[in-house]
Amino acid sequence: MNIQIRGIHKAFASFPALDGVNLDIESGELIALLGPSGSGKTTLLRTIAGLEFPDAGEISFGGENIASRPVRERGVGFVFQHYALFKHMTVADNIAFGLNVRKGSSRPSKEAIKQRVHELLDLVQLSGLDKRYPSQLSGGQRQRVALARALAIDPKVLLLDEPFGALDAKVRKDLRRWLRELHDKTGYTTIFVTHDQEEALELADRVVVMNRGRIEQVGNNQQVYEQPATPFVFDFLGSVNILPGEVKDRQLRFDGSDDVWDSESKESGLVDIYVRPHDLQIVDPAAPGLDATVTLVQRAGALIRISAALATSGERIELELSHLDTLARSRQPGDAIRVAPITFGLFPRAPHRRPTTLPDVVPNAPAENRERARN
């Protein structure tokens, strides 16, 4: 089932939860609505479901505008973050609930309902647990029951509101992989809400990044992470260093450096340069780059994380380097280094941008000073 969303507005009192949202979703896609709290992602999901009604705009399923229809007429399956299972019902009865409450000829026979329940138990890998109650299940098992209940009605669209938010990290990771496999088997058009960047990038065919009731960017995981359309997307999807610079004649110069880098920007003027920590490298002192002083070194498995202060401004930068990097392995606080970007993003200079600086840290500094640098 393909979905078209056009000019959706939704306000709560004077707060614009959705501000002119437009989105096309292809049949069979797995879409992630990603953003911070208050970005409008859950409101958009609930509006698609019919749990909220827009103040203006259209929502079409298969070319038919359903924006004013109640939830029962939309044919959606909805999975809540906290399962919303009926505690007094067995697993089988929870899954069958949507079929049992149907009226007249639309209600399947008891035998057909029983068969459907067992098919879904197999699908969500819970065979043999049909007579248990929710209190006898783990969090991951309860979420699978909630998903099976949503699938029981054979929905046109499957909607999930932070489906793994109440689970611990390991269970979340296992269920993410399982949900992707389940989606590929069933082929339902699926939309899920999350504030977890890794979850969205790992699971979804496309990610819809939202902020303040608007869509900032729509794209696959590579597009939104490697080619962010706005400063917000760049900053929200992972760590980033933001440094001042200037572009002139397609040449980029960092503030405080005489070296230049080629730029694809056709515009000239002051810019903010966005560089992810893993896109900064330590280079030879004679190579083009920026001089800095190491303030903190942290080793985490195969990564070496280095914090440093730029020599010209004291502004803080972060690097993430491989433990195999010979220029990184022996670094200690107080060492002078030269760094250069591998790749970067450019945006017009934001007004009133404040530099991020670190307190001075020397090799034999007291532990409390090193802790200040870490924070």
Q: Mean per-residue pLDDT for 88-100?
A: 91
Confidence of residue 283 (pLDDT cuts 50, 70, 90): very high
pLDDT band at 352 (very low <50, low <70, confident <90, very high): low
pLDDT > 90? residue 280: yes
What value does the mean pLDDT take over residues 241-267? 88
- Which of 204, 233, 262 is where one domain is finished? 233
Residue 157 is inside which H or E element, if any? Answer: strand 157-161
316 Cβ contact partners less than 8 Å away, ≥ 6 residues apart: 295, 307, 308, 309, 310, 355, 356, 357, 358
For helices 139-152 and 110-123, what crossing angle results, to 10°? 130
Amino acid identity at 143: Q
Mean pLDDT in residue range 120-135: 90
Any idea what the CATH number is for the domain that residue 290 is in? 2.40.50.100
Are residues 144 and 109 both part of a single domain? yes
Tell whether 222 and 246 lie within a shared domain: no
Give the mean model confidence (pLDDT) for residues 169-188: 84
Domain co-membership, 217 together with 248 = no
Q: Looking at per-residue confidence, does 103 or 245 come out higher? A: 245
Count of the separate structural domains present in the chain:
2
One domain, residues 173 and 287: no
For residues 49 and 122, membership in a common domain is answered with yes
Which of 232, 215, 160 has its CA nearest to residue 190?
Answer: 160
Last residue of a domain, one of 173, 205, 233: 233
How far is CA 120 from each of CA 32, 93, 188, 228, 348, rounded to the nearest angstrom? 24, 12, 14, 39, 52
Residues 247 and 299 in one domain: yes
Q: Residues 74, 132: one domain?
A: yes
Checking DSSP bridges between strand 30-34 and strand 189-194, what pairing results, if any? parallel
With beta carbons less than 8 A apart as the criterion, state whether 148 and 121 touch. Answer: yes
Q: What is the mean pLDDT of residues 158-182?
A: 81
- Mean pLDDT across 216-242: 93
Q: Do residue 297 and residue 358 come from a single domain?
A: yes
Phi-psi region of 96 (alpha: psi -120 to 50; beta: other; left: phi over 0): alpha
199 shares a domain with 134:
yes
User: What mean pLDDT do residues 271-296 have?
Assistant: 94
Q: 267: domain range?
A: 239-374
362 and 337 both lie in a single domain: yes
What distance in Å separates the CA atoms of residue 129 and residue 122, rounded to the nearest whole number? 10
The confidence score (pLDDT) of residue 353 equals 57
Distance CA(228)–CA(33), nearest Å, equals: 16
195 and 58 in a common domain: yes
Q: Is the same domain home to 189 and 282? A: no
pTM for the full predicted model? 0.82
- Mean pLDDT computed over 249-256: 89
| pLDDT above 90 (res 312) | no
pLDDT band at residue 374 under the 50/70/90 scheme:
very low
DSSP 234-269: HHHSS--EEEEEEEETTEEEETT----EE------E
Q: Six-digit token pair at 55?
A: 């103040």
CATH of the domain at 153: 3.40.50.300
